[in-house]
Structure 1
Amino acid sequence: MSASLIVNYRRYGVSVNLKKIITAFAVLIAALLLLSPVSADDEETGALIEAVALSDNCDSVSVSVSISDSFASGNDRLYLFRLPPGNTGKLDGFIPAASVSAEAGKSVFTLSFDKTDKTAPLYSYLIAGADGNGGYRPLGKPEYIDDITMLSERNHPYPQITSKKGLQVQLTSDAQLLGIKHTVINVSLSDLFSDSSEKADAFVFGSKEYLIDKSALSMLDYRIKTLTDAGIHIYMNLILTFDTSAPESLYYPDAVNTTSSAYALNVSDPSYVNRAAAYINFLASRYTDETGMYGFCGSYIVGYEVNNQAESNNAGMSDKTEYMTACATLLRTADTAARLAYSNARIYTSVSNVWRTRIESAETIGAREFLLFLSENCYDVGFGVSINPYPSLLGMTDYWNDRFAVDSASTEFLSMKNLNIFTDLLKNDAMLYNGEPRRAIIGEFGLDGKYGTESEALQAAGYAYAYYTAANNDLIEAFIWHRHVDHSGESGLNYGIYTSSEQFLAPKHEKKIRSVIAAVDLVSEQRSDVISSLISLLPVSSAEELTGTADCSRRRIRISGTAAPGPDAVGKKDILFDFSESTYSFYPSDNSQYLELLEEDERKFLRARLINIAPVEYMGIGCTLSDMTRLASADYISVRVRTVSYATAVDFRLIITGAKNGGDVMVDCTSTLICNEWTELYFPVGDAAEGLENGKLKLWVRGGSEKDSDLWLDVSDIKLCSSDPSAKAWRIFTLIIIIALSTAAAVILTLILVSGAQRRRRKRKKKHGSTKFRNRQVQRQPQDIVSSDNPAAQEDQPPSDLK
């Protein structure tokens, strides 16, 4: 026994062993805990909701519960409550929807369900026991219907996207040339709300009529349709901006009227929850229609950097737990509302780069804490995460040197430098949904790069480094760059890939980053030159180290056109479109206001009114190519086209896009078009379009004059040209003759060269042999010296007069 644990009180003649006392005290405490009455928290495990399921025809809901022996022995009945949207478990003023005898084992509550009421799935179910004072004590937390997709309007598969490359698109045609596949568009709910029936369209949700602003909806329709037709996948960021004409009840009760960029939506009352659900359900229903009338958008980000309750999602200085609970309510509401329209709709929350906060009372909640709270309270909601991992210092272009973003779970900031900290959290058991990590996107990221300075090149390199970081991370589904054009309102930071002119957000100069964005997801042989030029600016030693194993399968095939037909374009011509009867599904695709059919010289043509928004931007029309086999069998595609403008000439582009072998392909045909006269342009597509699927065709022009009050694009017909068989046969025969003659000439030349070589060898051999003979004669002279003693030798000597 350690002497330190024994205290001798000699004055009283008592020796006390402290270790034994401590052990006895611990045993006593444990016994008291075991004998004490079960608390409400402990009793929650006595009865548990195991499932909330709809019947096959969705006219009733069954709530399955398990009751323990301990609960059954201390309670007579178990009660079920049906709670309205937004209620987190407060039972005051509510009466039970049903009750059963508290018998140990399994039990099922069955309630009627109105499947025509879209608010019904927003209700939750909570079990409770009697509290002995005429009230009820909740057991556990509210539970929701397990599978609401049984109520979904549509269930078609979600589109598959082949690249992670994204951009906050401002210039649609430029985005297509860059190969952009994702974008985020901000939609303010305050813009959509309306209280004037004359300026609004009405819709019904849960037996209540709501109004949506016609003008705002029309602009949103155009934007989503245009981006969808451009092959760009859209994330709709649902935010709430300040509007004096909007009802005050839209805003979070504690929100302060400041210059905040966005505000928290009010879900403090069931009617407010229903209102939010109504508008989200309307948007999801409109933009996931399989007909594609308004385009497609099936992904919705709820709020902007929601963990910042003081600024980007202003909720004032409200209690942190209450605020996060309200965020969880809105997230669940959005998920339910969207999936009632489309079963595969996707919902995301948005967080900033603040990963942990040093001060408990900080106005910004650490993203890590916020996400763990949401996952705990929305464990049955398949929400994803949109994170904005900017450097800790926004002007720091070389973010890989950011000392505040470290490779540790305790890091204060989360940037592209330590993105793995974020995705590691998604793999944590506490964050899983149905046993799998949640979806994640880089919803916004940018680096400062001022045109004409060293930071411009560093920005380009930094983009590539960040893009490949995301591309090599399996949990990241999209990487979205912020911005397309520099914005003067961002505190001097130049995030754009173009500089801006004096006109607000009008592009002026192309920056170095643009060529990098265009190249990063191309196949290796098409991107190597661009990528190799960046290595010296980055903390990598090779292009292979930079790109890693990123799946880059996009191809771009460039073709130059001509106004004169080539030899392969003079044969058979197959009319693809002649516009004699209709527009053949052509539509005003890019910066085009409308289309109409006109006639000139008894020949119909398609006319598009163009909107010239920027010198770098193309304008034009497009259509879907339903039969790609016809195009693949042609040698040329020709288009008879005219631009009406004060300009002398404009740039013309014919774009064919499609999918091949799992990757995207762009056939990019360019030419110059003389204005104000009909011109037939020929493009030798050859094998470029072979094997393409899901093809689209775009006809664009760029340029015009400042004098143009109206700029028109006219198209009268589009043809597929195949080679003239007889001409092709003659060219093949001629080619064979040329090859034969060339071969014969080569053989004759070879024979001549060989013969000459042989003659030279014989001459050298003969000469070499004569020399050897003379050498042998010289060598024999010492032995054949003529003397009077050698008569034979004397006979061989020439006459004396010849010596």
Structure 2
Amino acid sequence: MKQYFLYLTVSMLVNNRTVPYQYNGKTYYFDSMDYYKQIVQECNRKKVVVTMQVMLDWNEGNTDLINMQARKPGALYYSWNIYSNASREKMEAMFCYLGMIFGQKNCYVSNWVLGNEVNHPDGWNYAGSMSDNAYFQTYAYTFRALYYAGKRQQANARIFICTDAYWSPSKGRRYGAKQVIDNFAVHLNKIQKGLDWNLAYHAYSFPLTYTRVWEGYGITNTLNTPAVTMKNLHVLTDYIKNTYGPSVRIILSEQGYSSVQGQNLQAAALAYSYYIAACNPMIDAFIIRSYKDDPVEAAQGYLFGIYKKEAFDVFKYMDTSRSSQYTDRYLGVIGANSWSQIVPGYKVQRIRRMYRR
């Protein structure tokens, strides 16, 4: 199944407010979202699954949406303010507007992701001085608002929480992904039982610059592993399945490897990771994050783009009938004789069923 990923920030929704929208007796004004509507409609026509990630950035005039203890400029994205009635209703109005726009028969989003890597409250979902309890409670309440908005007109839409690959707590204020999953589930259950949730996971290599993901550097196959990468992905999927059930679906919504150590290693890592994902029944999507190298990331030694690199052909053909022609050549780079030797559950028939039509 082909995938398309869209980022959406609050600023994109409110900077050009031309469309009136009524919610709970009050009129709000939002952007028409015409550009995104065109993209989503085109994807729908071509049977491409659309995932949209919703994030709260700093926007003058709308800082009331940010939790008071996190209301400090300079962060990328923020935790929402659910403790003010007016701010909470504005948030709900935004979500419901998005659910209306992208819940049409010819313009619909299949997957909604709330926030980015929320186990990193100092970076990607700024929490300021919020307590742990307030942080997880806020995320659960916000999730419920997006849940009802996303499903209002599109009952089959799925709503996701989001974490990175750091499975266990690390230095500074950085929760482990498992810690987020478990605390979120507890708080959501307190708020309302029976809401379906899913996980958008970023199974990067550990550390980020280490492209030889198949070697499993610094990780284990136990629940105490510091990170869950593609090498030990089963730790995550087994835990979710055994603890919360197979109905909790997982998408790998931000994947990529740096080519700093060599384009052949990047290409090998991409092929290896795709097959790992394709052969794990708990995984529904494998989404590559970067087409071209980002100058800011490049300055930090991260060359995640695949444009004009060996990895591009792997990406182009790995889910087609020509996959083996473009992926088998990297078995030698990995040090394996076959994909079945290193990919749990690898079956040629399963891979063929996933070929793009």
TM-score, normalised via structure 1 length: 0.42
String of CA shifts for 1:440-491, please: whole Å, max 9, x gaps. Answer: 11011110014xxx61011001001111111110000001111111111112
Instruction: State the 1:411 CA deviation.
Output: 0.8
| Mapping 1:184-583, distance limit 5 Å | 184-193=5-14, 199-214=17-32, 217-243=33-59, 245-290=60-105, 292=106, 295-358=107-170, 362-379=172-189, 380-429=194-243, 431-432=244-245, 436-450=246-260, 455-490=262-297, 491-498=300-307, 510-523=308-321, 526-545=322-341, 548-549=346-347, 551-553=350-352
Instruction: State the 1:539 CA deviation.
Output: 4.2
* Equivalent pair of 1:187/1:236 in contact (CA under 8 Å): yes
String of CA shifts for 1:625-663, please: whole Å, max 9, x gaps. Answer: xxxxxxxxxxxxxxxxxxxxxxxxxxxxxxxxxxxxx96
* Equivalent pair of 2:293/2:303 in contact (CA under 8 Å): yes
2: CA distance between counterparts of 1:246 and 1:408? Answer: 47
Instruction: State the 1:355 CA deviation.
Output: 0.9
Equivalent residues, number: 348
**Structure-2 change in CA distance of 1:229 and 1:340 (3 Å):** closer
Instruction: State the 1:271 CA deviation.
Output: 2.8
2: CA distance between counterparts of 1:541 and 1:256? Answer: 54
Amino acid at match of 1:204: Q
Instruction: State the 1:357 CA deviation.
Output: 1.4
Q: Which structure has the larger Rg?
A: 1
Amino acid at match of 1:446: G
* Equivalent pair of 1:301/1:347 in contact (CA under 8 Å): yes
Three-state SS of the structure 2 residue aligned to 1:552 is helix
RMSD between aligned residues: 2.1
1: CA distance between counterparts of 2:84 and 2:120? Answer: 23
Amino acid at match of 1:203: Y
Instruction: State the 1:664 CA deviation.
Output: 4.0
* Equivalent pair of 1:317/1:363 in contact (CA under 8 Å): no
Instruction: State the 1:258 CA deviation.
Output: 4.5
String of CA shifts for 1:71-107, please: whole Å, max 9, x gaps. Answer: xxxxxxxxxxxxxxxxxxxxxxxxxxxxxxxxxxxxx
* Equivalent pair of 1:284/1:298 in contact (CA under 8 Å): no
String of CA shifts for 1:401-422, please: whole Å, max 9, x gaps. Answer: 3432211100111211111111
Question: RCO (CA 8 Å, sep 6+): is it higher in 1 or 2?
Answer: 2
Three-state SS of the structure 1 residue aligned to 2:104 is coil
1: CA distance between counterparts of 2:355 and 2:272? Answer: 22
2: CA distance between counterparts of 1:326 and 1:311? Answer: 17
Amino acid at match of 1:423: T
2: CA distance between counterparts of 1:256 and 1:549? Answer: 51
Instruction: State the 1:348 CA deviation.
Output: 0.2
* Equivalent pair of 1:303/1:349 in contact (CA under 8 Å): yes
Three-state SS of the structure 2 residue aligned to 1:378 is helix
String of CA shifts for 1:182-241, please: whole Å, max 9, x gaps. Answer: 1221000232125x8xx4110112222111024xx1222233233334432111000012
Higher percent of residues as strand: 1
String of CA shifts for 1:488-515, please: whole Å, max 9, x gaps. Answer: 11123111111xxxxxxxxxxx111111
* Equivalent pair of 2:279/2:351 in contact (CA under 8 Å): no
Three-state SS of the structure 1 residue aligned to 2:165 is coil
Amino acid at match of 2:294: H
2: CA distance between counterparts of 1:247 and 1:518? Answer: 41
2: CA distance between counterparts of 1:467 and 1:664? Answer: 14
**Structure-2 change in CA distance of 1:227 and 1:459 (3 Å):** same
Amino acid at match of 1:240: L
Three-state SS of the structure 2 residue aligned to 1:416 is coil
**Structure-2 change in CA distance of 1:539 and 1:377 (3 Å):** farther
Instruction: State the 1:319 CA deviation.
Output: 0.6
Instruction: State the 1:338 CA deviation.
Output: 1.7
Moved segments of 4+, more than 6 Å: none
Three-state SS of the structure 1 residue aligned to 2:123 is coil
Amino acid at match of 2:254: E
* Equivalent pair of 2:7/2:54 in contact (CA under 8 Å): yes
**Structure-2 change in CA distance of 1:226 and 1:377 (3 Å):** same
2: CA distance between counterparts of 1:663 and 1:415? Answer: 24
* Equivalent pair of 1:531/1:543 in contact (CA under 8 Å): no
String of CA shifts for 1:29-83, please: whole Å, max 9, x gaps. Answer: xxxxxxxxxxxxxxxxxxxxxxxxxxxxxxxxxxxxxxxxxxxxxxxxxxxxxxx
**Structure-2 change in CA distance of 1:187 and 1:422 (3 Å):** same
String of CA shifts for 1:694-738, please: whole Å, max 9, x gaps. Answer: xxxxxxxxxxxxxxxxxxxxxxxxxxxxxxxxxxxxxxxxxxxxx
Three-state SS of the structure 2 residue aligned to 1:480 is strand
**Structure-2 change in CA distance of 1:286 and 1:324 (3 Å):** same
**Structure-2 change in CA distance of 1:314 and 1:535 (3 Å):** same
* Equivalent pair of 1:553/1:664 in contact (CA under 8 Å): no
Amino acid at match of 1:399: V
1: CA distance between counterparts of 2:12 and 2:57? Answer: 8
Aligned to 1:182: 3
Instruction: State the 1:276 CA deviation.
Output: 1.7
* Equivalent pair of 1:307/1:367 in contact (CA under 8 Å): yes
* Equivalent pair of 1:348/1:385 in contact (CA under 8 Å): yes
Percent of pairs with identical residues: 22
Instruction: State the 1:246 CA deviation.
Output: 3.3
Instruction: State the 1:528 CA deviation.
Output: 2.6
1: CA distance between counterparts of 2:340 and 2:239? Answer: 28
Higher percent of residues as helix: 2
2: CA distance between counterparts of 1:305 and 1:470? Answer: 20
Instruction: State the 1:438 CA deviation.
Output: 0.6
Three-state SS of the structure 1 residue aligned to 2:296 is coil
